Structure 1
Amino acid sequence: VGLTGVTIGWALGFPAAVAAASGAVCTSIADRTDPLRLKIWIMGFAFAGTVFFTGLSGFARFDTIAFILATAFVGLWAGLISAYGKWVLSLAMTSVLAFVFAMGQAFATRSDVADHLMLTALGAMGYTVYAVVIAWLFDDRGRRLLLAEAMHAFAAYLRAKAALYNPDSEGPGAFRAMIDAHAALADRLQAARDSLFARRSHRTQLKRIDTLIALLDAFETVLSSDADLEALRHARDNPWGRELMWKLNGFVSQMAEEVERLTLALRFRHGHTTPLRHAEDARALQEAVAQAREAAPDDAIIHAFIATTNKLVLADSYIATLATALDDKTEPTTLAAGLDLDLFRQDAPRGLGVLLDQFRWHSPALRYAIRLSLAMTVGLGLTLIFPRFAHANWVLLTIALIMRANYSVTSQRRWDRVTGTLIGCALAVTFINTLPAPVLLLLIVLAVGTSHAYGLVAYRVTAVGASISSLLLLHFVDPLVHPQFFERIVDTLIGAGLSWAFSYLLPNWERDDLPRTVQGLLAADAGFAEAALRRVHSSQAYRLARKRTLEAVAQLSGAIRRLADEPNTNRRALASLGELLGANYLLASDLSSMPVLVKLRAQDLDAPLADAAITATRERVVALLSPEGGAEGVDAATPLRDSLAGMHGSAAMEVLGRRLEHIEHAARKVARLAARPVIEDI
């Protein structure tokens, strides 16, 4: 943005630099860390949107009716294209911002509009070319950034897990924090898959894929260690149980620190690192568990500690594998060649047909588009009626930035926007009154960068940066210094109020989609059980089923958070959903433990007998989780079976038998919680 403004300003003067910079700012909104092929399309659409909506705003302003209709169209467009998913939200903001920036210009004739449009298009084109070239040159840097974000999220998940092993922590609160960290990790992993799996023709690209797969394997092994979490939490009431819990807490914390350390290798294209296994700590942990077993050989909780310790030690070895994959000295494996990686990428909706399908009354995108369009139109109407007290460009921008397709996000962004605007306006007025024009231009660049950096993690910071950059740009367009602070506050309050009021018009309540979300979760669980409950696993089918289950858990977790913010929410239903989420997390942990169990005890299992038991359990679990069989089988007693250990005297078969019983019990609990009337009638 800064280079665009400086280049155009050097050639054509300061007013031209402001116009070109506004085009670059609008286009930059869509500049995200996307796969290179998708980046070209996104930036192309951003350029087209910037030019079109700048021209629409400029040429329509000479007729009041036409301008009102243009404003309504902008709202409809920004709402309807949300049907294409998250990746187009930045394009919607590009369209609105271009429309709003052009509103702040003083055009005497249509010729002035054409001149401004040409300069805006020049700035937008300059940034588009710059963004695509930089993305191509630094494609691997973007992949490393996504990998680092996924690894940081994994470290956060490990810390949340370590907190759960703290015997003095509050169980429900710590458990919910771990589930939230799990949901955040699932989002980061999917973003990494979408980018890294898109290109795999070069050695470096294959190395990044190996790193992500190693990270996924480490995550799955850690997840599998939660299969006995309920039993471990009951052990904190006795001295040896507390001591073992503290040792688990320390061991997992060390794993989190190691993952954080490994992210440093991603700072460089050809990074080097060495595995750091905690062999002595692992040995001390295993010896402590062995001593506890000698002291209480008949205590069933000891078996839970043994299984958990073995899985965590295995997870530590996978983190060492992650370090090996990160080291540029090692060669890429052939694992990527054995998987159809395209199946693991998120398939974004494409084509004009997606847009045409939204013209149905019950379409969430259409209802959101109507809400947004009416709110922006009313906001414009208020500024026309009370021009001294409200200013259309800031009011419309506030509405578009705050209002989202669901009530919860709109409500949260409303307060973030108001407080962020207060802070940003105060800073902007201070800057305008104390700093020279060249420094203000530099601050615009820094503010735009800040808005981008915090857009997905802290919207309040984004609102501060957006307020500073927008206010400074408007200052250069029309340098009225002193009244701007109070005007922007009033405009923000008007926009926030309209966003809140219109969020009740044709709303998309989370509770309306909840039954479908729960059914999707059960379907994903059934698919995961089908793939996981086998002695010999198909890597492709198992990994794909695991991915779908993790995404379904993350989706339900997000739905519960959004539902909690909606008015008139049944708190009893929220509690039931939280219980379902926790039970489903434990079921996923149980199912993830099956490949780990087979890996650790493959040599000791009786293959024919194990296959028969696993198959029988798989059929019952899938039936429990299916829409047809779940309701009927939920209250049925778990079928009795002979002890597998008793048939052959094998400790491995006994462990397998306990695990299968535990999985079936967990599936029964999930099916029972999902069938509760309070969830169906929420």
Structure 2
Amino acid sequence: MYSRLQALQRFFYSHYFFGGMRQSVGVLLPALVLAGIFHMYAIGFIASIGAACVAVIDQPGGPRRYGTNGMLAAILMGSLTALVTGLVVGHSLLVWVAVPAMVFIFSMLTVFGKQGGLLGFACLLIMTLTLRQPLTSHDVLQHTAYSFFGGVFYFVYSFIIHRLMWHREEQQALSVAMFATADYMAARAQFYDVNIDLETSYRRLIHAQALMTEKQQAARDTVLRELPHGSGKADRLRAKALNIFIDMVALLDTLVATHTDYATLRRTLPESDVLVFGRDALLKLSRNVSDVAFNIARGRHAKERHSVKAELRAIEYEIETYRKNGMTQDNPEVYALLVQILRRLRNATRLVDRMGGHLREDNSVELVDRRLEQSLNRFLTRSKWRLGMITSNLRLDSSHCRYAMRIALAIALAMVVARFIVVVIPEEGLGSDYSGHSYWIILTIIVIMKPGFALTRQRNGWRLFGTLIGCGVALVVFNLTSSNDVYLIVLIMASIMGYSLVQVNYMLAAIFNTLFVLLVFHFLAPGGSFVIGERLIDTVLGCIIALLCSYVLPWWEHSFMGSLANALKRANQEYLSTGLHYATLTRAQQLARAGASSNADGSTDPTLDAEQHEAELRWRLARKNMHIAFSNYASAFYRMMDEPVKRQKHVPQLNNLLIQNHILASQITAAIPVLASLDAVPPGIENSMVAVTRYLDDQEADPPASIETAGDLATLAYPLRQMVKAASLIRKDMQGLSHA
């Protein structure tokens, strides 16, 4: 879809690269200043270790207060970890008990989600790097103090950068989310291409939707963390970013509501130009969104866009032709569906044009939806940290406990292997030097091993190949030049790229991180190519141990799919119930306004207005939660499909649940606004909604044989039938999973 040049542009203007630069500079600055100016090489290295521990938490996106609290926790817990590790590393018995125990405790922090996992990894990182060499009691206190001040330095540095570059961070988080939205639109366009298999199209769409949900949540937490409150320059910038975000979410709703039975559409209209024009219109809109995203990242105004007027007029002409040929009588539901697709494309075009208009300097900074102004903070991610979350997971049926036990066992085994090598190999050979660097095996394991089997196995290969290539690149650099200035430049570039790529391409990140570490060791202890070979041997051993231990108390994804399926069904139930409540209050409000217009003062009940607004907010919150639940389920399902075949359980039911929940959510999005606009709900439509609700409550239902289709009601017939069918199939598959 995109050329390599466009992909590179997207990366270098993204918050990944900007965040990588921020982290790299913050980590290297203590070492560069202390070593380059004051020649305190050891102190500078230790301070950089402390800074690196805190930098792990400083990830792009998310509410700023969580990042601040996480970095403060990393400073305190990292310093305590360095102190304990330094005290036990010189005692052969204590280290065998303390290190696996700390690994288990820090790995259990994954119960607190992504932020907890990052904090645990930060502590594991500083523990591993403190294992490099034995320390005296005096050295331990100094090491802890230098590490602490390094972490404090990074915290202050990050705080200053965030205060100065807050708008840049918002722009980049927003642009990444919009790029993901553009990719989602391109994936949806494939459904209108009869030459592409529907199953393949669904797979691509769900992958794109899961990724888009993640990026939009990161943008939501970044853009909404501080809202505009005045008319100053900063408030105007915040208002523009907020307007673009609101329109981006509205665009997603418009796209989701266009879901249809594409198999029926292709079968009914296999040679129709409507499919071709619909595909081309979506592809053009996708390119427009991508262009807007690119201009947001660059801080520029979009000068030109790809017009979709020709496609919209052609679709309108085709629909009019179908009407004249009698489709309204012969197949009214398909005709209503085509009209609905045209309306959605028009709405999408309007939203995309408005997003581009927000970038103009002369554009108004008024919010596009003033009703949301006082409630946007309710859409932020909330995190709760309780000690009970850890204690309640200290059991074998907990995936977090199994992961902690697995990685603790791997670390203990790594220590045994390292000790065995030191004892077996003669002291004058590899052993004497190897003992000081065996921590690299432990570092490899904590980087590779993840709670899921598939991700651990995937990272294993990436890490191994990345280290191999990184060692080869280091050899080339060392053979091409002996200039320390060149080495320093390469070291800084490798550090920036390593931090930038860790969330984008893990293998490339492993290449740059390996090169960075080898250059660091060159400056600390110049020794030629022996360290390069040592790093490679360490990595191979770490990968082998990680792979072997990944089969110990594994947590297969199918074990968790049932609870994720239940969570997704409940999210759709909440989405439907809040939507129906919103539609009911909206109809009541319309009746009240109609009655007020005949009164002398023309006033309406403010209580009813407030209730309707609150109901709409609850529906929007339920929609956000539904998208997150769907993303969690889809991601887990595709992780399961990457596991061994014999560990893939109930694939047909789980795949069908994925599709039917997607259909149900899409049709809810399409139906609720129409229900809200009606003066009264006819019996057939009312009974259909009751049937959907009963099916989702795991009860028998009797959906009506026919649904009213007079006038605008025809636009509800197809969504309601799809909702009834999807809810029925969800109930059937959930019962099958329960019995299994």
1:466 aligned partner? 513
Q: Is 1:121 aligned with 2:167?
A: no
Q: Is 1:673 aligned with 2:700?
A: no
With normalisation by structure 1, the TM-score equals 0.90
Query: For residue 312 of structure 1, what is the amino acid of its counterpart?
Result: L
Q: 1:298-347 CA distances to partner (integer Å, 9 max, x unpaired)?
A: 34544432222221222221222333444453123253645633432222
Out of 50, 68, 73, the position equivalent to 1:45 is: 73
Q: For residues 172 and 372 of structure 1, what CA distance do their matches in structure 2 show?
A: 37
Q: CA deviation at 1:180?
A: 0.9
Q: 1:101-160 CA distances to partner (integer Å, 9 max, x unpaired)?
A: 2233475x4434444444333333222211121112212221221111110000000111
Q: For residues 327 and 35 of structure 1, what CA distance do their matches in structure 2 show?
A: 27
Query: For residue 8 of structure 1, what is the amino acid of its counterpart?
Result: L
What are the within-5 Å matches in structure 2 for residues 372-521 of structure 1?
A: 372-387=407-422, 388=430, 391-433=437-479, 434-521=481-568
Out of 511, 523, 527, the position equivalent to 2:574 is: 527
Please tell me whether the aligned partners of residues 221 and 315 of structure 1 are also in contact (alpha carbons under 8 angstroms). yes
Query: For residue 517 of structure 2, what is the amino acid of its counterpart?
Result: S
Q: For residues 729 and 323 of structure 2, what CA distance do their matches in structure 1 show?
A: 30
Q: Is 1:159 aligned with 2:186?
A: yes
Moved more, 66-75 or 543-552: 66-75
Q: For residues 422 and 217 of structure 1, what CA distance do their matches in structure 2 show?
A: 46
Matched residue of 1:227: which SS? coil
Q: For residues 133 and 28 of structure 1, what CA distance do their matches in structure 2 show?
A: 14
Out of 351, 362, 366, the position equivalent to 2:397 is: 362
Which runs of no fewer than 5 residues in structure 2 stay unpaired? 1-26, 230-234, 423-429, 587-611
Q: For residues 565 and 671 of structure 1, what CA distance do their matches in structure 2 show?
A: 27
Please tell me whether the aligned partners of residues 221 and 596 of structure 1 are also in contact (alpha carbons under 8 angstroms). no
Out of 158, 169, 181, the position equivalent to 1:131 is: 158
Q: 1:354-406 CA distances to partner (integer Å, 9 max, x unpaired)?
A: 33433344332222111111111110121012124764211000110111112
Out of 623, 626, 634, the position equivalent to 1:546 is: 623
CA gap 1:662/1:3 in 2 versus in 1, 3 angstroms: same
Q: Is 1:624 aligned with 2:699?
A: no
1:149 aligned partner? 176
Query: For residue 332 of structure 1, what is the amino acid of its counterpart?
Result: E
1:140 aligned partner? 167
Q: For residues 542 and 169 of structure 1, what CA distance do their matches in structure 2 show?
A: 35
2:58 aligned partner? 31
Q: 1:248-296 CA distances to partner (integer Å, 9 max, x unpaired)?
A: 1110001101101111342366967798763343222211232244346
Matched residue of 2:225: which SS? coil
Which runs of no fewer than 5 residues in structure 1 stay unpaired? none
Q: 1:175-230 CA distances to partner (integer Å, 9 max, x unpaired)?
A: 21011101111111111222222222443334333322211111111111113434
Q: For residues 276 and 170 of structure 1, what CA distance do their matches in structure 2 show?
A: 27
Please tell me whether the aligned partners of residues 399 and 499 of structure 1 are also in contact (alpha carbons under 8 angstroms). yes
Moved more, 448-457 or 382-391: 382-391
2:91 aligned partner? 63
Matched residue of 2:196: which SS? coil
Query: For residue 491 of structure 1, what is the amino acid of its counterpart?
Result: D
Q: CA deviation at 1:539?
A: 1.9
Query: For residue 639 of structure 1, what is the amino acid of its counterpart?
Result: P
Q: CA deviation at 1:163?
A: 1.9
CA gap 1:568/1:260 in 2 versus in 1, 3 angstroms: closer
CA gap 1:344/1:279 in 2 versus in 1, 3 angstroms: same
CA gap 1:671/1:84 in 2 versus in 1, 3 angstroms: same
Q: For residues 403 and 120 of structure 2, what CA distance do their matches in structure 1 show?
A: 13
Please tell me whether the aligned partners of residues 6 and 17 of structure 1 are also in contact (alpha carbons under 8 angstroms). yes
With normalisation by structure 2, the TM-score equals 0.83
Moved more, 358-367 or 371-380: 358-367
CA gap 1:271/1:124 in 2 versus in 1, 3 angstroms: farther
Matched residue of 1:225: which SS? coil
Taking every aligned residue pair, what percent have the same amino acid on both sides?
Answer: 22
Query: For residue 315 of structure 1, what is the amino acid of its counterpart?
Result: A
Q: CA deviation at 1:570?
A: 5.9
Out of 214, 219, 226, the position equivalent to 2:252 is: 219
Q: CA deviation at 1:577?
A: 1.7
Q: CA deviation at 1:483?
A: 1.9
Query: For residue 364 of structure 2, what is the amino acid of its counterpart?
Result: T
CA gap 1:555/1:405 in 2 versus in 1, 3 angstroms: same
Q: For residues 378 and 120 of structure 1, what CA distance do their matches in structure 2 show?
A: 28
Q: Is 1:331 aligned with 2:396?
A: no
1:309 aligned partner? 342
CA gap 1:523/1:292 in 2 versus in 1, 3 angstroms: same
CA gap 1:55/1:477 in 2 versus in 1, 3 angstroms: farther
Out of 316, 319, 327, the position equivalent to 2:352 is: 319
Matched residue of 1:386: which SS? helix
Moved more, 155-164 or 492-501: 492-501
Please tell me whether the aligned partners of residues 209 and 336 of structure 1 are also in contact (alpha carbons under 8 angstroms). no
2:605 aligned partner? none
Q: Is 1:574 aligned with 2:642?
A: no
Q: For residues 543 and 337 of structure 1, what CA distance do their matches in structure 2 show?
A: 10
Query: For residue 704 of structure 2, what is the amino acid of its counterpart?
Result: P
Matched residue of 1:226: which SS? coil
Please tell me whether the aligned partners of residues 325 and 332 of structure 1 are also in contact (alpha carbons under 8 angstroms). no
Q: CA deviation at 1:423?
A: 1.2
Please tell me whether the aligned partners of residues 198 and 263 of structure 2 are also in contact (alpha carbons under 8 angstroms). no
Matched residue of 2:90: which SS? coil
Q: Is 1:644 aligned with 2:708?
A: yes
Q: For residues 261 and 252 of structure 1, what CA distance do their matches in structure 2 show?
A: 14
Query: For residue 33 of structure 2, what is the amino acid of its counterpart?
Result: T
Q: CA deviation at 1:551?
A: 1.5
Please tell me whether the aligned partners of residues 107 and 121 of structure 2 are also in contact (alpha carbons under 8 angstroms). no
Matched residue of 2:680: which SS? helix
Q: CA deviation at 1:467?
A: 1.5
Q: CA deviation at 1:88?
A: 2.8
Matched residue of 1:122: which SS? helix
Q: CA deviation at 1:246?
A: 1.3
Q: Is 1:5 aligned with 2:47?
A: no
Please tell me whether the aligned partners of residues 556 and 647 of structure 2 are also in contact (alpha carbons under 8 angstroms). no
Please tell me whether the aligned partners of residues 687 and 703 of structure 2 are also in contact (alpha carbons under 8 angstroms). no
Matched residue of 2:257: which SS? helix
Q: 1:533-572 CA distances to partner (integer Å, 9 max, x unpaired)?
A: 4363732122112112211211111111111133353667
Out of 608, 619, 627, the position equivalent to 2:680 is: 608
2:715 aligned partner? 655
Counting matched residue pairs gives 659
Out of 351, 371, 376, the position equivalent to 2:406 is: 371
Q: For residues 188 and 570 of structure 2, what CA distance do their matches in structure 1 show?
A: 27
2:320 aligned partner? 290
Matched residue of 1:22: which SS? helix
